[in-house]
């Protein structure tokens, strides 16, 4: 069971979720699902580069310091990683703004930056689950777009709810987070992203 929990934690890692989330959105029946493959590929490349590749490179560079712990157990290490990740997400927001694409893509990344800032501020005193904040954010994206467009993406919502439940259980089994940290992360991510997209 712990091996399965580790696999789920890797599969739904915050570094991978933005890219997986955009793949899910492009196959959810929303109005931007009809973008050409070339346009979708560009968006996915920007998202993957700025939310996965650059943050991983940033953490790798931080790990060159002898006192930096890759597990991010210490608040200072976690805060530094979040700070650079937030900068890279904002870079993604700027890059998407340079193309004539749907504004919703930029809003999603901007909302994600706000979530990272909130996690960073909370990390000054307390630890919340970044895994669940990422899943809550993605769920908030789907719900907000669904309510604004009147489309009911039943399958994506079901997939996200199942992924959230399995990932939350995995984090508990691996003793990486406790229940309040998991619940706070999920609710925080959902509310910030949902409210940002719904009202902006």
Residue-level pLDDT at 100:
67
Q: List the structure tokens of 39.
A: 């346009």
Task: Please give the model's pTM, rounded to 2 decimal places.
Answer: 0.92
b vs e for 62-83, b when ≥16 Cβ sit within 10 Å of the residue's Cβ? beeeeebeeebeeeebbebbbe
Amino acid 101: pLDDT:
67
pLDDT at 129 over 90: yes
Task: State how far the Cα of 42 lies from the Cα of 29, in Å rounded to an integer.
Answer: 19
Position 160 scores a pLDDT of 95
Q: What band does 23 get if pLDDT is binned at 50, 70 and 90?
A: very high
Q: Find the mean pLDDT for residues 181-193.
A: 96
Asked whether the predicted pLDDT for residue 190 surpasses 90, the reply is yes
pLDDT, one tens digit per residue, over 73-111 is: 777 888 889 999 999 999 999 988 877 667 889 999 999
Average pLDDT rounded to a whole number, residues 98-127: 88
């Amino acid at each position: 069971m712990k091996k399965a929990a580790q696999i789920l934690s890797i599969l739904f890692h915050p570094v991978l979720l933005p890219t997986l989330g955009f793949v899910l959105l492009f196959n959810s029946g929303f109005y931007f699902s009809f973008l050409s493959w070339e346009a979708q590929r560009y968006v996915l490349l920007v998202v993957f580069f700025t939310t996965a590749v650059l943050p991983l490179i940033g953490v790798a560079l931080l790990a060159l310091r002898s006192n930096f712990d890759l597990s991010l157990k210490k608040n200072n290490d976690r805060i530094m990683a979040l700070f650079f990740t937030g900068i890279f997400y904002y870079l993604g927001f700027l890059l998407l703004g340079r193309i004539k694409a749907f504004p919703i893509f930029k809003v999603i990344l901007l909302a994600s930056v706000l979530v990272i800032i909130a996690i960073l501020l909370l990390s000054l005193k307390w630890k919340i689950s970044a895994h669940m904040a990422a899943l809550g954010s993605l769920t908030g994206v789907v719900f907000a777009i669904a309510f604004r467009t009147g489309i009911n993406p039943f399958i994506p919502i079901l997939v996200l709810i199942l992924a959230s439940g399995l990932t939350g259980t995995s984090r508990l089994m691996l003793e990486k987070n406790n229940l309040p940290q998991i619940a706070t992360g999920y609710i925080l991510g959902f509310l910030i992203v949902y409210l940002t997209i719904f009202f902006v």
